[in-house]
Amino acid sequence: MSILTFIKQDAVHLNTARVALFLTAILLVPVVFGIGYYLNMMIFIAILSLPAMGLSLLSGLSGQLAISHGAFFAIGAYASAILSTNIGINPVLSTLLAQMIVALVAAAIGAVVLRLRSHYLAIATLSFAIIVELVIKEWSGLTGGMQGMLNIPAMGALGREATSDIQYYYIYWPITALLLLFALNLSSSRIGRALRAIREGEPIVDSLGIQAAEYKIGIYIISSVFAGVGGALYAHFVGFVTPATGSIMFAIEIIMVLALGGFDRLWGALVGVVLITLLNEYALGFADYKKIILGVTLIAVMLVFPRGLLPGLIDLARSNKYGRTA
């Protein structure tokens, strides 16, 4: 029995092997290419991958899109910022505590909103996102209002703090990789199976004695916590947060990421983040038109490839290779 057949027996082993390979490659990048500006971009990719993977879990498993991932990114960022800056809790702990807040809010929203079907979920979570943005702007005593918060402590604990990009790179990428592994495992587990079934026919799932609502709320919480972790990592890396952190525009950008990488692929979410980061960095220097270009691209992609650009192109390549069947 070769190592490969051993790995293939179990989805968890296969996921672990793939993510380990991926992480090894990522960790070797600075060794090969040295320390440079690209590290900064790579750190942002690690951070943005978290809300993207979170949303991908939700849309891939339950078939629902939420516009609240920007808001949970902001809640994660502000909560960890406030806990560490104002109360003096160390950033590792504040990042974790912030996730409890995110999870509680997501559970409350989920309990109310998840009785609604797909596009209603989008609209209801949009309202929630608007409220969060408003609260952040208006509750200036806590959040600093429009000015935001400055001098958020760097990531670290027990007197050891990250001080350079290369250190952040080696802290954040393993976190992202571990959460990717978590998401992949969840997706290939009984939970993922139940959610896919619920997506196809909630009444049938009910008839099997399975409480569909619990699963829908559960995946919404997990998915939101991914965004919350992203927010906290972001706050401690850049050192400041403003209402623009996790705005609705940002939520739409995450959906854009999935439109590029595919709505039901966790690895695709990573590819989507890379693509959008490159687009932002190089192709869209002319800032005024940026939003319009992103918006138009989003609509075009969704019309032509409803499952997302990457899966769409893969399908296209396959059908060309094997000839079209009528």
Residues that bind other proteins (CB under 8 A): 10, 12, 15-16, 181-183, 185-186, 189-194, 196-197, 200-201, 203-212, 218-219, 221-222
Tell the smallest beta-carbon distance from residue 304 to other proteins (Å): 22
Sole residue written with tokens 């001098």? 151
Tell the smallest beta-carbon distance from residue 150 to other proteins (Å): 35
| Alpha helices, DSSP H, located in the chain | 3-8, 11-33, 38-62, 69-85, 91-113, 118-138, 140-143, 165-187, 190-200, 202-207, 212-238, 248-261, 266-278, 287-304, 309-322
- Residue 240 buriedness (CB in 10 A; 0-12 / 13-18 / 19+): middle
For residue 93 the two structure tokens come to 């702990």
For other proteins, the closer CB: 116 or 197: 197
Tell the smallest beta-carbon distance from residue 219 to other proteins (Å): 8
For other proteins, the closer CB: 15 or 95: 15
For other proteins, the closer CB: 60 or 153: 60
Alpha-carbon distance 20 to 153, whole Å? 30
Residues in the chain: 326
Tell the smallest beta-carbon distance from residue 28 to other proteins (Å): 25
- The answer to whether 65 touches 308, Cβ cutoff 8 Å, is no
- The answer to whether 228 touches 104, Cβ cutoff 8 Å, is no
DSSP state of 133: H
For other proteins, the closer CB: 87 or 208: 208
For other proteins, the closer CB: 187 or 245: 187
For other proteins, the closer CB: 192 or 272: 192
Tell the smallest beta-carbon distance from residue 211 to other proteins (Å): 5
161 — phi, psi (to 5°)? -125, 150
Tell the smallest beta-carbon distance from residue 210 to other proteins (Å): 6
